[in-house]
Amino acid sequence: MEQEKQLQWFPGHMAKAKKAIESKLPVIDVVVEILDARAPIASHSEDLENLIKHKKRIVVLNKADLADSKVTKLWSDYFHHADINVLVAKSLSQKIKPELIKQIKLIYHEKLQQQLAKGIRNPQIRVLILGLPNVGKSTFINNLLQKKVTKTADRPGVTRGQQWLKLDQMIDLLDTPGILSPKLDSDETKLILVLLKALPAKHLFVEEIAQFALKFLITNYPDNLLNYYQIPFDTQDISNESLANYFAELAKKYHFKLTDNHYNVDRAMNLLIHDLQAGKLGLVSFEKPNQKIINF
């Protein structure tokens, strides 16, 4: 049973993509690992870590425009302190190329000097872009190249094959399909990945996702929740009963009726999930540094 569930979110194309990445690694100089700024731990894959741990790396905290900026700053400091190159990115709205090139050339400085000393006139730096599904790898690349060279969409599993792209005379980029770990370590990770749209919601029950989302908002962003839906709640009470009452109120407020006397609570749950995913409940981060140990 467990095996069956795992296979559902680790389909054949991901297994193939992982093999293809593995085969390219010997020629890769720098790995750019794209994480979701809202949850850098959940969007960091142990599975990919095992592939790339010996490579030079830049960590990108993408979708920073959807994250809580105070928390993103904590994350950025966290990576700096851990001596990991980090770049905060808003791939849909802000140019990334100058900062990325600066970081790549800094990392690669020594090897570049060696190559130049050897008389290699056109040294090449090969950069692999990798990360979970839907974190924005293709959007990041389109931003770098300032044109739509790779297909993007707001669902996981859009990029299927690899392609090399030229960033400048020296740097080549390789876009890759998003890969999830065949074994996701905890229920909370799965729930966060669904809210980030890295994992399709069909793998979990709607009620479970919605309750998690509501508890998260009540505990961490109560003002956002109150401002958006204008439904009062008690921050001290996140019992299942209280959460159920909240969804019933939400269904009433939006006139999600099943019959004259019954409201469609499922629709209210889906609404909350979609609004949170779409950023309508404000800029939120699901994880802060120091909550969990992170293995980079």
Task: Closer to ligand GTP by CB, 139 or 181: give it.
Answer: 139
Q: Which residues from 142-161 bind Mg ion, rule CB under 5 A?
A: 158-159
- The three-class DSSP label of residue 59 is strand
Query: 201 labelled as ligand-binding?
Result: no
Centre a 10 Å sphere on the Cβ of residue 217 and count the other Cβ atoms it contains.
24
- Residue 230's contacts (CB-CB under 8 Å, 6 or more residues apart) are 253
Size of the site for ligand GTP (CB under 6 A): 24
User: What are the backbone dihedrals phi and psi of residue 217, each rounded to the nearest 5 degrees, phi first?
Assistant: -70, -45
Per CB under 6 A, does 133 bind ligand GTP? yes
Query: 135 labelled as ligand-binding?
Result: yes
* Contact flags string 83-122 toward ligand GTP, x per CB under 6 A: -------xxx------------------------------
Query: 62 labelled as ligand-binding?
Result: yes
Task: Closer to Mg ion by CB, 74 or 158: give it.
Answer: 158
Exposure string of 184-215, with b = 16+ CB inside 10 Å and e = fewer, is beeebbbbbbbbbbbbbbeebebeebbbbbbe
DSSP label of 263:
B
- The three-class DSSP label of residue 80 is helix
Give the shortest CB-39-to-ligand GTP separation in angstroms. Answer: 14
Per CB under 6 A, does 147 bind ligand GTP? no
Give the shortest CB-159-to-Mg ion separation in angstroms. Answer: 3
Per CB under 5 A, does 138 bind Mg ion? yes
What are the angstrom distances between the C-alpha of 191 and each of 83, 226, 247, 259? 29, 22, 18, 31
Per CB under 6 A, does 62 bind ligand GTP? yes
Q: Yes or no: say if 111 and 29 are a contact pair by the CB < 8 Å rule.
A: yes
Positions in the binding site for ligand GTP (CB under 6 A): 62-63, 65-66, 90-92, 131, 133-139, 152-154, 156-159, 177-178
Binding residues for GTP: 62-65, 134-139, 178
